[in-house]
Homo-oligomer: A and B are copies of this chain.
Amino acid sequence: MESWNPGAARNAILDFVERATSPGVGFIEPGDRIATFDNDGTLWVEQPLPVQFNFIFAALIEAVKETPSLATEQPYKAIIEKDHDFFEKVGLQDPDAVSALEGAIARAWHDSTPDRFESEAQSFLEGARSERFGRPSTELVYQPMMELLELLRTNGFRVFICSGGGRDFMRVMSDNAFGIPRENVIGSAPRYEFRVGQLHRTDEVLGGVALGAGKPEHIFAATGRLPAIAGGNSDGDIEMLEAASFRILISHDDAEREFTYTEGAERAFAEAEKSGWTVVSIKNDWKVVFG
């Protein structure tokens, strides 16, 4: 935890881990030590757009090249026109926007194999760079969070990602970028069908999108438990944080070293204040942001 400044957030985390692993009040059985963290904006940078959005956009722009009539439909229209409002709606789980985006994603990878998706995601990630920081996107990982994950692992916690983003994209980079093996990545995902010795992607979303109530639902399905500790940064994380014993909410308040924004996290911060969640200020609590 050497990248954390002394203060209330660091103290609360160290205190939680100390109690969780010591006999007495707050002790957590080793089997129950499940830690879950949101991905974009919690473990790495999500501005100006989550990295995976750019991957999906590139595929959907290809689809428009093949089928120009799509250009007048959503989400293709919003991508071409760089219509930020549409994607804010997606973030806020507007049913029409979510359904249009899911439909386009299903169309782009209809019936494809995991190998095809993985090699496309891999190629994209190799070239993905942040303009703002002039670095590969996969390096824009929050160093203090990596130290927190390591602290948790050392104390017997199994660390999972739980993201509304696409599970299979994250699984391509989670081990290298975060040290989280792919079987510990929970997220929104298509159902695959096994036919003639091979997996084929269907157009169904397996168990619903892993946002809001979908987060604790997916976490229980994957682990058989609700989290002992959870971390997030937006309204889509509220139910996951509610379901946890110890809650961390990241505040993006450092315009100089990262970004300043609260859009889509207003309810989460109100809940954090009401319920005493541990708010982590990037500006004040982190000595460094990136490794």
Contacts and interface: CB of A to CB of B under 8 A. Distances in A.
A61 B221 CA distance: 28
A108 to B, nearest CB: 19
A135 interface: no
A199 interface: yes
A181 interface: yes
Contacts of A191: 207, 217, 221
Chain A contact-residue range equals 35 or more
Contact of A194 (B182, B189, B239): B239
Contact of A224 (B171, B214, B225, B239): B171
Copies of this protein, total: 2
Interface in A184-235: 185, 189, 191-195, 197, 199, 206-207, 213-217, 220-226
A152 to B, nearest CB: 15
A266 interface: no
Contacts of A268: none
A34 B182 CA distance: 11
B216 A183 contact: no
A31 interface: yes
Contacts of A114: 220, 224
Given A31-B181, A31-B182, A183-B158, A221 B194 contact: no
B182 A199 contact: no
B242 A189 contact: no
Given A31-B175, A175-B31, A216-B199, A224 B183 contact: yes
Given A224-B168, A226-B199, A217 B189 contact: no
Interface of A: 31, 34, 114, 158, 167-168, 171, 175, 181-183, 185, 189, 191-195, 197, 199, 206-207, 213-217, 220-226, 239, 242-243
